[in-house]
Structure 1
Amino acid sequence: MNTITEISRLKAPADLPQSLAWHADALWMGSLATKRIYQIDVETWTVKSEFPAPGNPFGMVSSGEELRVLCGETEEDNRFIRRLIPAHGFDTAFKIQCPDDTGSQLGFDGSSLHVSQWYNQVVLSLSPNGDVLETYRSPRGICGQVIIGDYIYIANTADEETNDYYLGRIDTKSGEYEDLANIPFQARALAHDGESFWTNHRAAGETVKFSL
């Protein structure tokens, strides 16, 4: 199997970069160290704006003119999907609890949000109120997802303590999974800017742009 081709590797705006989303021609990153969301101009690699999150921002995705952020909140680490409005910040009234109170990464297919559950090895398509519409299975634990066309691309691993990580995709029509490439580091999150993929090497505090 081929290994991903790194295009760039840049120091993240904050330590422990976790969530990523491509939105409005910018890369958005959430940090577990600061519990903040950063809007990054990728041409200059500078922060254009930043917002405090209501919890640990584990996953994030562009949703129309807004973003959705999956946060771990309270001492019990309850998992909720929050609404982030660019230039305004988080909508404190909007909150959807994740199915089974678990989940980490988010995807959006143009109509439905998708939540990935790492240890259950599934991606769940959700209704607007959070009910499960469809279940897609992964052969390994899921640490990143982004939806492109009819495919859910996922970063995944069977052992998160190793560097044996994979980029694969699930066909939403058939439900079948295929491996595409090795990721030789402990990846967190996936985003796609229309041409290239982005992920985080969280332990190194770096954000990586890559292609297949």
Structure 2
Amino acid sequence: MNQTLNAIDELVRIPAPCPSPMGLACDGTDLWIGSLETNRIYGLRASQGSVFEEAKAPGRPFGITVTGDALRVVVGEGEHDERYVRRYIMGKDFKSEKIACPDFTGSFLAYDGDRLYLSQRDNQTILELDETGTVLRTIPVPRQITGMVVVSGRFYLVTTESRESDDYRLLCLDARKEQPEVHELASIPFIARGLGWDGFKFWTNDRDNNAIVAFAKPD
């Protein structure tokens, strides 16, 4: 998978409501953004770029996904940055219960309407979890994941080769078959974190430029 790729077709770029945006999820036309610098999550009207909700996380918020009327957020807690999945009720606050990530490691989340999926960057895997956090399936990925979302039963992934690399690419991974199929779709010309789908286009964070970017689905 070393073919020359076209860059993503950037459609919209708006300022992030926080420094160093990390997690990103779409709830219809609204966006949810997390910041590792402020330890807060923000609800954002994408059309206006305005914050309508803000909450302090019980740690450092990494990946975010929408699960009905709630969010699931990977939170790094304590001096060892142990990772847990927390539930945030929209319009309210974080709930006290939490699920430990396997080996206390994980970054980004995706939800397919039934199951929750957790990425582990250094292991280059996606873990399918049940409601207690038990691993039901491990899906290998050829690159490190820095954002993911499920669209029409397939994973779309923001990936990079390593922590030292600035080669970011959008991958599509179909794990519905016994042997997952992976296709590289486009290059991303910035350090991308998080990935969401609003039903029409993708959204990701341009971390170093404190911006949120929408781009067209390349396939």
**TM-score normalized by structure 2?**
0.94
Distance (Å, rounded) in 2 between the aligned partners of 1:155 and 1:145: 6
| Structure-2 separation of matches of 1:107 and 1:6 | 22
Q: Which amino acid aligns with 1:99?
A: P
Q: Is the 8 A contact 2:28 2:198 kept in 1?
A: no
1:22 aligns with 2:29: no
Equivalent position to 1:199, from 201, 204, 211: 204
1:11 touches 1:205 (CA, 8 Å); kept in 2? yes
Find the counterpart in structure 1 of residue 135 from structure 2: 132
- In structure 1, what residue type is equivalent to 2:212? T
Matches within 5 A, 1:84-99: 84-92=88-96, 94-99=97-102
- In the other structure, the counterpart of 1:146 is 149
Partner of 1:162: 165
- Offset at residue 170 of structure 1 (A): 1.0
- Contact 1:156–1:167 (CA<8 Å) still a contact in 2? yes
1:116 Cα deviation (Å)?
0.2
> 1:102, 1:117 within 8 Å by CA — same for their partners in 2?
yes
C-alpha distance in 2 between matches for 1:68 and 1:202 = 21
Query: What residue number does 1:180 align with?
Result: 185
1:24 Cα deviation from its structure 2 partner: 4.8
Return structure 1 stretches of 4+ with deviation > 6 angstroms. Answer: none
Number of the residue aligned with 1:74 = 78
Q: Secondary structure at the match of 1:49?
A: strand
What is residue 65 of structure 1 aligned with on the other side? 69
Give the whole-Å Cα distance in 2 for the aligned partners of 1:159 and 1:130. 27
Unaligned runs of 5+ in 1: none
Q: How does 1:31-46 map to 2 (within 5 A)?
A: 31-46=35-50
**Number of aligned pairs?**
211
Contact 1:136 1:170 (8 Å CA) reproduced: no
TM-fit CA distance, 1:159: 2.7
Amino acid at match of 1:172: A
Q: State TM-score, norm by structure 1.
A: 0.97
Residue 102 of structure 1, aligned match among 105, 110, 127: 105
C-alpha root-mean-square deviation of aligned residues, in Å? 1.0
One-letter amino acid of the structure 2 residue matched with residue 201 of structure 1: D
Q: Determine the structure 1 residue equivalent to 2:13.
A: 9
| Contact 1:162–1:186 (Cα < 8 Å) also in 2 | no
How far apart, in 1, do the equivalents of 2:215 and 2:166 lie? 17
- Answer yes or no: is the 8 Å Cα contact 1:160–1:186 preserved in 2: no
Q: Map Cα deviations across residues 104-123 of structure 1 (whole Å, 9 max, x no partner).
A: 00000111110000110011
- Unpaired runs of 5+ residues, structure 2, are none
SS of the residue aligned with 2:66?
strand
Report whether the alignment pairs 1:209 with 2:214: yes
Tell whether the 8 Å contact from 2:15 to 2:49 is kept in structure 1 after alignment. no
Q: Distance in 2 between matches of 1:71 and 1:161?
A: 24
Asked if structure 2 preserves the Cα contact closer than 8 Å seen for 1:164 and 1:183, the reply is yes
